[in-house]
Structure formats: structure tokens, C-alpha cells
Amino acid sequence: MDFIFSDEQQAIREAVLKTCARFGDDYWTQRDREGGFPEELYQALAQDGWLGIAMPKEFGGSGLGITEGAILVQAVNEAGAGLSGGSAIGGNIFAPNVIVVYGTDEQKQRILPSLIRGEVRSAFAVTEPNTGLDTLKLRTRAVRDGDRYILNGRKVWISTAQVSQKMLILARTTPIDQVKRATDGLSLFYTDIDRRYVTVREIEKMGRKAVDSNELFIDNLPIPVGDRIGEEGRGFHCILHGLNPERILIAAGLVGIGRAALKRAAAYAGQRVVFDRPIGMNQGVQHPLAECWMELEAANLVAFKAATLYDQGQPCGSYANAAKYLAAQAAVKACETAVLTHGGFGYAKEYQVERYLREVLIHWIAPISPQLVKCFIAEKELGLPKSY
């Protein structure tokens, strides 16, 4: 395995860091205080072609892989944007991947170019209030009615729905008691968020105010048959091509925000003088920061192994989930350690590290809990009985 980025990959990283450097602490402090989608960053990345980094060239993309997408998201987070920046673009990389794999030529031509140009934003609507991670039990229903489906249901924790025109949504088209396997009977749609039928209610939350999280109430939303991605009843199988890349991008981004926090903590420790010496001379300060560096770098290796496996068409579920788990654990520790290293000033918004800590906690919880990751690994890699 090659542990070093190629010249092209390193150039991607450096170019993204350069673009993100235009958006400094004041910008992200304002977004954190006032909310509002980071449109300026989003359009800057779109203009440079980064939103289509993993999309085919024939539709305006760069034709690269999830590995390069992970490099992009990591650089945005690491540049200081944190999850306020990384989460704003991640969905544009992993969600359309399902359309690349399962969409028809007509769908690809109709959908992908506008996403790549940054003209259209799309939400990813899977999670529901009453089913959580038990995706196969979701209750949102889409009933066939001639050349359309009528969709009813609720979704929750749907990012960017306030500012998105489209959504990639999973719904049950055949009742679960009428299918042989619970994984059957779910269908995937890429369709309009038509606000005559969809009520979008924002959820006030702890951090990442710039990237809205929402509950969707859907009442009799008509969806053309042409908006269905893949075969009817095979939506769960399709969505897996979005879930594993999602976990990979999140893991890479978590390493990025961890690095950003660690960089600020190390700089502060080198400058802050107490008892006539910089606090960074004290092993009680050095050792926690050193541990964070090692744990972040280890998580990074797993994340990029998962990305490499995915891009090579090999099974990557265990590594994608493990990467998300390890990166979240390492990033939470790094952000907490950064706050503590700053002492009282770590609690001040001016130093950004308290924002990183508030933002990073979401990915210790979601999109898959640490407990369920361990259950998955125990079953798939250790051969233990399924526990969920």
C-alpha cells in the first residue's frame, strides 16, 4: 500500500487549502453566531470545479474517486472551517455517487451537471424519527399511481434542507410484511423538495449552525417515475453506494478538524508563558497533544484505506465504519484537549477551539453510533451472532 499522496493528490490538497484560506476566523465566527449557509465558500469551491471531484468527466466532473473527495473534505475542515465548511460540501460528493452508479443516462445528464456547477443543492433524506438506525423499518411510503408515486412520511436530521432544491430520499414501496427479505421493498428517489407538499422545520442544535439540520413532514408529494433511481424495491442496495462513501468522507473530515484543533493548541502552548516558561515545555501539556497526533494519524490511515478499497470496487464496509469510529474518537479527544490546553481562553469563541468541540460531537453520535459500529464489526469481521 502506498501511504503517500500522489503529486496530483497533493496538488488538490494545497489548492483547496489556498481557497479556504480566504475564509478566516471572522467568517466562521459569524456563520456560527448567525447561521446561514456558507454560500461564499461553496461557490468558490464550485468555481474551481471541486464539487464534481468524484463525478464523471462527461457531466462536468473531474472523474476522480472518493479518495480525492476525502482529501478535499479533509482540507476544508483542516483549513479552519471545521464541520461548518466540510459538512456544507460533503453531501455533494457522496450522495450523487448513487446516481453515478445506478442512474440512467438521462438521469445523469439531467441531474449531475447542475450539482457539479453548484447551481443546485441536494439533501440526503433517510433517517426517520421513529426508526433511527433501523433503516429497514422506515415508515415513509411511496405508492405507485400511474406514472408517478405519492409519497407520505417524516424524515429527521436532514442537513441543508432549508437551502436545497432537491433531495435523495429512501421510501418503502412494498410493505415489509409482503417482502421475502427486509432489505427488499425500499426504493430510492431523487426529486424536488416541493414545499407545497413538504414542510421543512429546522432543528436548533449545539453546533454547526451554518449547516441546517431539519425535520421533514411530507404529505402527498407527487414524484414522477422518472425520478426513481434504480429498480423499484432495490433502494436499500443502491443507498449502500452512498453510505460507505459518507462514512469515509466524514472520517477524513474529522481528522481534518482534529488537526485544526491540535495546530491551534500547539501554537498556543508554545506561546503561553506561565511561571516564566511556555506551558508547552511541560510534559503534562505535551503528552496529551502528542497522543492526539498519533491517534488522528492512525485514524487517517484507516480512512484512506477504506477510500482506496471503495475506489477499487472492493468491499469496504468494515473499514469505512471503523474509520468513522476511530476518527470521531480521535477528533473529539483532540478538540477537547485543545480547549483544555487553552485553559480559560479555550472557552472563548475568539480562539475557535470551543466551536470545534461543539461541532465535532455530532459525528461521535451520527450518522451511525459507536455502539452500532462495534456490533457491525463483531458480526462481519469476528463472525459473532448479529445483535441488532
Residue 349, pLDDT > 80, answer yes
* Residue 248 · residue 65 · CB < 8 Å: no
Average pLDDT of the segment spanning 121-140 = 90
Q: What pTM was computed for the model? A: 0.95
Per-residue confidence (pLDDT) for residue 278, from 0 to 100: 97
pLDDT digits (tens, 9 = 90+) for 24-41: 999 999 999 999 999 999
Here the cell at position 124 is: 440526503
H or E element in which residue 341 lies: helix 317-341
**What's the whole-number average pLDDT of the chain?**
96
User: Using CA of residue 241, residue 243, residue 246, residue 250, what is the dihedral sign?
Assistant: negative
Count Cβ atoms within 10 A of the Cβ of residue 189 and give its class: 0-12 exposed, 13-18 middle, 19 or more buried: buried
Per-residue confidence (pLDDT) for residue 2, from 0 to 100: 74
How many C-beta neighbours within 10 Å does residue 38 have?
23
- pLDDT band per the 50, 70, 90 thresholds, residue 1: low
Strands (E), 160-315: 166-172, 186-192, 198-202, 213-224, 228-229, 273-274, 277-278
